[in-house]
Structure 1
Amino acid sequence: MDNYEFDKAMNAFLEASDLAKSSNDQRLKAIVNINIGIGYMKQELFDRAELYFQKSLALFLQLNDHYTPKAFFNLFESYVKLGKEKLAESIYKKGIENAMFWGDNEFIAKINLVRELMPDRGHKENIDRAFFNLQRLNLYPDIESYSIDFARYFTRKGNLKIANHYYELNILANFLLFYRQQTQLN
Structure 2
Amino acid sequence: MDASSAQPVPAHRQAIDSQSPRPRHPCLDHQAREDHREVTDQQRPRDQEEGTPARNEFLVICLCAEWCGICREYRNGFQEVARQFPDAGFHWLDVETDADQLGDIDVENFPTLIIKRQQSVLFYGTMQPYPAHLKRTLRAFLEQSAEQSRQYAFSSATRCGWQADDDLQRLGPDHPGRIVA
| Short-chain TM bin | under 0.3
TM-score by length of 1: 0.22
TM-score (norm 2): 0.22
The structure with higher relative contact order (CA 8 Å, sep 6+) is 2
Greater helix content: 1
Asked which structure has the greater CA Rg, the reply is 2
Judging by fraction of residues, say which structure has more strand.
2
